[in-house]
Chain A
Amino acid sequence: MFNTLLPYLLAGISVGGQYALIAVGYTLVYGILRLINFAHGDIFTAAGFFMIYLTASLPIGISIPLVIILTVILGFTVERVAYKPLRSAPRMSIMISAIGVSYLLQNLMWYLTGGLAKQYPVLPGLSQTIRIGSATTKVVTIVTPILTILLVFALVTLINKTKIGMAMRAVSKDFETSQLMGIKINNVISVTFIIGSAMAAVGSLLYFTNYTAVTPTVGAMPGLKAFVAAVFGGIGSIPGAMIGALIIGICENLIKAAGWTAFSDAFTFALLIVVLLFRPTGLFGEKVTDKV
């Protein structure tokens, strides 16, 4: 029994870890801005394309940091251009702006890349296959959950122990008051987008090493699932996003193992609905207290 399930579990943990890295970006931005950054999945896709074009002319060792830097610049620019001018606008406007950015990025990539699937470069080490028990898989499957946990741990430490982390917590509690206390709100928001984009870039490295084709719309589904994971775990909570993502990744693969392949996506979203019915704030969400 365990031997049959092992390959599914491995695949589930791996894809869950990759969702987690994207989900962190959603949950961070939501925690601070109360904004669902719909463009996040496309920033993840863009990171995939950066890697393909950079490795065409540069060695992998230089490409990887460059990909992370470029993705961070993209995330930062999106925030400055499309969200910052709308800071005092109603929340709906900024949400529409996010959807607009998402489609803009998608179509830009469509135009610039010619709209065909591109083959992701082979990362030495990560792409090799190894044998674990009864399952054969890529090394990246094992690396993903470990790297995800390390990154999430580092991020939680950053938020709890550093000055910028304290500022982020303050801003997420109360926007106006923290501004009055002398916190430079724009800097805090930029840092949020920088961290979120960097995580998405790392996530894209792992995801595309496993699933090697990059198309302009490839980020839509993982982006949506990561968003579900973030809501599932309690949006605003970083460990929640990670655990939510792992649960979704594993459940998805187990459902496929049971033979209901056509329903695995439907299941993900049904699970979300059920959880929200019983725990409207998600698994680890903070209780909503209305202040008067």
Chain B
Amino acid sequence: MKKLLALLLAVMLLVPAFAMAENVIKIGVFEPSTGDNGAGGKQEILGIEYANSLKPTVTVGGEEYSVELVIEDNQSLTDKAISAAQSLVSKDVAVVLGSYGSGVSMAGGDVFAEAGVPAIGVSCTNPNVTLLCDYYWRICFLDPFQGTVMANFAKELGATKAYVLTMLGEDYGVGLGKYFVDAFKGLGGEVVEENFTEGTSDFAAYINNAVSNGCDVVFAPCATTYAALIIDQAAAQGVPFPLLAGDTWENSAILNAAKGKDIKVYCSTFFDENDDAAAAAEFVSGFKAWLNADSSKMTNNGGNDIVAAVSALGFDAYNVALAAIEAAGSADSAAIAEALPGVTYEGVTGAIAFDDVGDAKKDMAYIKFANPETGAFDFVKTQSVGQ
């Protein structure tokens, strides 16, 4: 009996050893699926998972490797981000994708740099993500660009005085707010800036301040949790001016908050699901079918099959990672980090090529309007800025 047990245990020990023998390369997914940015993070993961379902293997040096996604939740918190990043590193991932949210990306960046694991930022738009970290690359546009785009758009809407509301200590919002302010002032506009603290629910006073200061547009880049409250309370006070924000607001939470209310909400984003380029159209129809086939995926997408820009970016990020692994010809992190800067890729969100800092050269933003009647995003225009 004892011998049998020993044999059984020995076999059990061998099984994982056999599994190891198969060629597996791990890609870390560093995203929030809970907390303030959880809704957006989940959509980004969906894009990555969809890409993985289409291309589950990669050829490295003539050998077929299967790709395993290792998903870690950074909870939208900078302190939790560090332990999530460490957990990915300890699980021996070759390359990391993510995160939604610039603050958590910066927090995790140090851990990845120390371990020598390259990270590809999906929708983190703060310049410092790549600037302060040699192991971070990024496939989306940056906040100085996005802030300027929205300032130009505000001007086109006829605004002369903007109310800018950001959350204290949030890298993404404070950064984007600053670039908007600079650009809007540069265009001859006036600005009133205010902050709220984490955990605020009562935005009535902020809306009042915007009204009493005579502002005719609000720019409030912040997490969707707060955005929903701001929209709801602005609608309750019947404000006449439009609310503008950056890429985080392109989310079902915003549509739900604005639905059926007398309010105008605009945001800039990376991708439009009605893009008629062949690659984008194929991605959109394929992704919708993939979502509709599984109700739990539909729930993670916010309960509908609207394709979020961050899902498209997640899809591109995964493919960029595969291209880098193939270019490196190795499953080793150091080799991938070396190959990444030279990777070019024709993605569904546009062509991706990296500059010296590690940012994709992207110069077009899509502006969308949250239609309160249909509960969907209407495409307004694409906007780029000439320097």
Contact = CB atoms under 8 A, between A and B. Distances in A.
A interacts with B: yes
Interface of A: 4, 7-8, 11, 15, 110, 114-117, 119, 129, 135-138, 207, 210-213, 215, 217-218, 220-222, 252-253, 256-257, 259, 261-262, 264-265
B387 interface: no
B378 interface: no
Contact of B38 (A7, A115, A217, A265): A115
Nearest to B39: A116
B30 to A, nearest CB: 16
Given A11-B204, A259-B209, A117 B237 contact: no
B202 interface: yes
A253 B257 contact: no
A211 to B, nearest CB: 4
B208 A114 contact: no
Interface string B185-198: 00000000011110
Given A213-B225, A259-B194, A221 B200 contact: yes
A129 B232 CA distance: 11
B56 interface: no
Contact of B202 (A7, A11, A129, A135): A11
A119 B260 CA distance: 14
17 contacts: A7-B237, A11-B205, A114-B33, A115-B34, A116-B34, A117-B225, A119-B257, A135-B237, A210-B233, A212-B229, A213-B225, A218-B201, A256-B205, A261-B209, A262-B194, A262-B195, A264-B205
Given A117-B38, A138-B236, 5 more contacts: A7-B204, A119-B257, A221-B200, A221-B201, A256-B209
A211 B236 contact: no
Nearest to B261: A129
Contacts of A135: 237
Looking at A110, A114, A217, A253, which has the most chain B CB atoms within 10 Å of its CB?
Answer: A114
A56 to B, nearest CB: 12
B18 to A, nearest CB: 35
B237 A8 contact: no
Contact of A213 (B34, B196, B229, B235): B229
Given A11-B205, A213-B201, A136 B236 contact: yes
A110 B257 CA distance: 22
Q: Which 8 pairs between the two chains have the least Cβ-Cβ distance?
A: A115-B34, A256-B205, A211-B201, A11-B204, A117-B225, A136-B238, A261-B194, A116-B38
B256 interface: yes
B197 A11 contact: no
A217 B199 contact: yes
B212 interface: yes
Interface in B62-118: 75
B123 interface: no
B83 to A, nearest CB: 16
B279 interface: no
A126 B257 CA distance: 17
A253 B204 CA distance: 8
A143 B200 CA distance: 22
Contact of B209 (A15, A217, A257): A257
Contact of B225 (A215, A222, A257, A261): A215
Nearest to B202: A15
B235 to A, nearest CB: 8
Nearest to B208: A7
Contacts of A129: 235-238
Given A115-B34, A116-B38, A117-B224, A256 B201 contact: no
Nearest to A212: B232
B298 interface: no
Contacts of B253: 117, 119
B25 interface: no
B52 to A, nearest CB: 22
A8 B200 contact: no
Contacts of B228: 117, 119, 212-213
B75 A115 contact: yes
A240 to B, nearest CB: 23
Contacts of B209: 256-257, 259, 261
A115 B80 CA distance: 14
A252 B197 CA distance: 13
